Structure 1
């Protein structure tokens, strides 16, 4: 299961050297994850309202390989690696054409209304198959 999300680097994304500030890659992959979940058909606002279930990042392992620059057109590729009872593991790459600039392995956990780990809802688990 793979999803692609396009974005452009704006001036506000860069540092004094004109390259993307390192923390902004986390914003880029967050946007891509949100669009991936939406493309699957999961309405996160409704999920929270109906059951109190939300997704949170538990771990990110990031590799900064090459700099992205102002006005670059980038693509974030999101791939599902694994699902567990309460977690989802993804790999996300930021690409400029065929060139990989950034890679991350992201572990998401499903949290219930009390803020503790909760099993992935059956309807979400079905969409991830």
Structure 2
């Protein structure tokens, strides 16, 4: 299945009083990594909405925390398609500081048509499924730019 990696630096506002990453930030970073993943395979959420009236709402998310991240740590988020169903896409996320995994989880997103102020889950087209099932790995930005979230 298709996968992608991005780097993000922990900012001061991402930490608690002890200087450790405040846990909800993992979900923010999962969202950023998910959007970058879709952009990396030419399925930008903005493009999908504009050209196909498709949105990708979050239906479920989970995260397990294993090791702390601290201010100015640079993490790598590895995102991979875990599952494609008729109307949903499940992305897994693994967060690393160097070679040490600090957390992992997933996002379940719907493939939803938005027309006339109504939304309805619709089948994912075969060409999109084929793109998502390709055994391709990308690293966002050739120079591995650090994204500040």
- Please indicate the TM-score interval, normalised by the length of the shorter structure: over 0.9
Where does structure 1 lack aligned partners over 5 or more consecutive residues?
none
TM-score (norm 1): 0.92
Is residue 2:69 matched to residue 1:65?
Answer: no
The answer to whether the 8 Å contact 2:78/2:94 transfers is: yes
The answer to whether the 8 Å contact 2:30/2:107 transfers is: no
Is residue 2:124 matched to residue 1:120?
Answer: yes
The answer to whether the 8 Å contact 2:10/2:73 transfers is: yes
Matched residue, 1:110: 111
Worse-superposed segment, 43-52 or 99-108: 43-52
TM-score (norm 2): 0.81
Where does structure 2 lack aligned partners over 5 or more consecutive residues?
134-149
The answer to whether the 8 Å contact 2:76/2:95 transfers is: yes
- Deviation string, structure 1 residues 1-50 (Cα, Å, up to 9, x no partner): 22111010010111111111110111111111111111101132222123
Q: CA RMSD in A?
A: 1.3
Worse-superposed segment, 77-86 or 107-116: 107-116
**Number of residue equivalences:** 129
